[in-house]
Amino acid sequence: MPEIPPSSFLAEMVQRGDLILPERGRRRRAAAEATETSARDGAAAPGARPSGQRLSPIEEMIARQNVLFDQLLQRQTALLKAVERMMTVLERRGGGLAGGGGTFSPMPRVAIFVDVPNIVYAAERLGVQIDWGKVLNYLTRDRQLVRATAYAPISDDTFQRLETQKFVQPFYNLPYRILTKPLKRFGNGEIKANFDVELAIDALTMADRLDIICLVSGDGDFRRMVELVQAKGVRVEVVAFGASTAGELRVVADDFIDIGQHLHEFTVTK
Predicted confidence at residue 83, as pLDDT, reads 82
- Which tens digits make up the pLDDT trace of 173-187? 999 999 998 877 766
The 3-state secondary structure of the chain reads CCCCCCHHHHHHHHHHCCCCCHHHHHHHHHHHHHHHHHHHHCCCCCCCCCCCCCCCHHHHHHHHHHHHHHHHHHHHHHHHHHHHHHHHHHHHHCCCEECCCCEECCCCEEEEEEEHHHHHHHHHHHCCCECHHHHHHHHCCCCEEEEEEEEEEECCCCCCCHHHCCCCHHHCCCCCEEEEEECEECCCCCEECCCHHHHHHHHHHHHHHCCEEEEECCCHHHHHHHHHHHHCCCEEEEEECHHHCCHHHHHHCCEEEEHHHHHHHHECCC
pTM exceeding the 0.85 threshold for the entire prediction? no
Confidence of residue 10 (pLDDT cuts 50, 70, 90): very low
Residue 88 has pLDDT above 80, yes or no: no
pLDDT (mean) for 203-218 = 97
Q: Where do the structural domains in the chain lie, given as residue ranges?
A: 61-104, 109-266
- Which tens digits make up the pLDDT trace of 54-75? 778 888 888 888 888 888 888 8
What is the CATH number assigned to the segment(s) 109-266? Answer: 3.40.50.1010
